[in-house]
A and B are shown apart, each in its own frame.
Chain A
Amino acid sequence: DARVTQTPRHKVTEMGQEVTMRCQPILGHNTVFWYRQTMMQGLELLAYFRNRAPLDDSGMPKDRFSAEMPDATLATLKIQPSEPRDSAVYFCASGLSVGNSGANVLTFGAGSRLTVL
């Protein structure tokens, strides 16, 4: 089965350090999402790419977070500098969206668990 691959699976770092999370979406999918999951906030949408173009990053703290898709096989989420409140599980998901009435069914990666001390 095709899968979304996320690295690292676990990351422990100290406050102030840079953190980069990577995602390999499923080949042929044209949408990529980054979500953050915490007990308090649930699943928050951080960034949404369609055909590698960023369409929505309104949920992302712009001063420290950045999301990019340098090519169709790689999406990155970077936090610089990291803070303890960034501790969460970060999920990448990809899907195929065709046209305005198409259905975009997402496949999720296993997540990257980040702990900032």
Chain B
Amino acid sequence: SQQGEEDPQALSIQEGENATMNCSYKTSINNLQWYRQNSGRGLVHLILIRSNEREKHSGRLRVTLDTSKKSSSLLITASRAADTASYFCATEEYGTSYGKLTFGQGTILTVHP
């Protein structure tokens, strides 16, 4: 079963606009990670936020985490056509299954030039 559920399933925007994707999960976590997948390729790690953190930045990426609501959001600012890809959240479980990452269904982002 999927631990993370992304919302929306698909997002279409113009270059220069911001893109926001959301992720909800079910169990206690050590951290939450976001990955990107270009068509036909493997996933690439973007950013990690620990369970005791609320916000994290990396370049044009901003991630928030609300453990009380079991949700996270990924914001890409000033989007570019090259940001077109699928974005996945992944949760690393807390407890005996530590190290195990479970992925959500992903959000397909299309950025139009």
Q: Is the CB of A105 within 8 A of B99?
A: no
Instruction: Report the interface size class on chain A.
Output: 20 to 34
* B94 shortest CB reach to chain A, Å: 8
Not counting A97-B98, A105-B48, a sample of 14 additional A-B residue pairs whose C-beta atoms are within 8 angstroms of each other reads A43-B43, A43-B106, A45-B101, A55-B100, A101-B30, A102-B98, A103-B33, A103-B50, A104-B92, A106-B45, A106-B90, A106-B101, A108-B35, A108-B42
Give me the interface of A with B, judged by CB distance under 8 Å. 4, 31, 33, 35, 42-43, 45, 48, 50, 55-56, 91, 93, 95, 97, 99-111
Which chain B residues (28-69) contact chain A, with CB distance < 8 Å?
30-31, 33, 35, 41-45, 48, 50
Given A56-B97, A102-B99, A109-B42, also A42-B92 (CB < 8 A)? no
Partner of B99, one of A35, A91, A104, A109: A104
User: Is B25 positioned at the interface, with any CB of A under 8 Å from its CB?
Assistant: no
Q: How many A-B residue pairs have CB under 8 A?
A: 74
29 contacts between A and B (CB under 8 A): A4-B42, A35-B103, A42-B104, A42-B106, A43-B43, A43-B88, A43-B103, A43-B104, A45-B100, A45-B102, A55-B100, A56-B97, A56-B100, A91-B42, A95-B101, A100-B30, A101-B30, A103-B33, A103-B50, A104-B92, A104-B99, A105-B33, A105-B48, A107-B45, A108-B35, A108-B42, A108-B43, A108-B44, A111-B41
Q: Is the CB of A48 within 8 A of B30?
A: no
